Amino acid sequence: MKLSHIEHIGIAVNSLEEAIPYYEKVLGLKCYAVEEVKDQKVKTAFFKIGETKLELLESTDAEGPVGQFIEKREQGLHHLAFAVENLESALKEAEQKGVKLVDKQPRKGAEGLDIAFLHPRSTFGVLTELCEDKRKK
């Protein structure tokens, strides 16, 4: 597969309201979007650094993936997202090479990206997201 850059880094937080001021007032970044992703049971806040974004994730449901993560592991780094040229073929390739997939098919993530997750059991502990921005094509 062909990765072009780190699209974003996902960070699980207990509260966007509490976390955003740290990123803005201490790190000097600007939150340019807050978006709820119902499918994922999260509210997200985005910051941009060069070509890479930070995605803060606040759980909207304790049973959702981020709610479960925070319950087990506390807030902190959650996932790494790579921009990939062709998501469907990248998923097929990963599966052929023995990687366990969380998502067998691409689905819609925040910011209109097509996304899919690889299972951390197959990626040395890093929950890995592949993203394709079809709007740029």
Is residue 116 at the binding interface for Zn ion, with CB under 5 A as the rule? no
Check residue 81 for interaction with Zn ion (CB under 5 A): yes
For position 10 contacting Zn ion by CB under 5 A, the verdict is yes
Stretch that binds Zn ion, among 33-41, 73-81, 87-95, 118-126 (CB under 5 A): 73-81
The binding track of 33-62 with respect to Zn ion, each residue x by CB under 5 A or -, is ----------------------x-------
Q: How far apart are the first and last CA of the chain?
A: 18
Instruction: Say whether residue 106 binds Zn ion (CB under 5 A).
Output: no
User: Taking a C-beta distance cutoff of 8 angstroms, is the pair 46, 111 a contact?
Assistant: yes
Q: In the complex with Zn ion, which residue's Cβ is closer, 78 or 96? A: 78
- Please report how close the Cβ of residue 39 comes to Zn ion at its closest, in angstroms: 12
67 binds Zn ion (CB under 5 A): no
DSSP the chain: --EEEEEEEEEEES-HHHHHHIIIIIS-----EEEEEGGGTEEEEEEEETTEEEEEEEES-TTSHHHHHHHHH-SEEEEEEEEES-HHHHHHHHHHTTPPBS-SS-EE-GGG-EEEEE-GGGTTT--EEEEE-GGG-
Closest among 66, 72, 52 to 19, alpha carbons compared: 66
CB of 1 to Zn ion, least distance (A): 17
Q: How far is the CB of 40 from Zn ion (least distance, A)?
A: 9
Q: Which stretch binds Zn ion (CB under 5 A): 3-11, 13-21, 25-33, 66-74?
A: 3-11
- Per CB under 5 A, residues contacting Zn ion are 10, 55, 81, 129
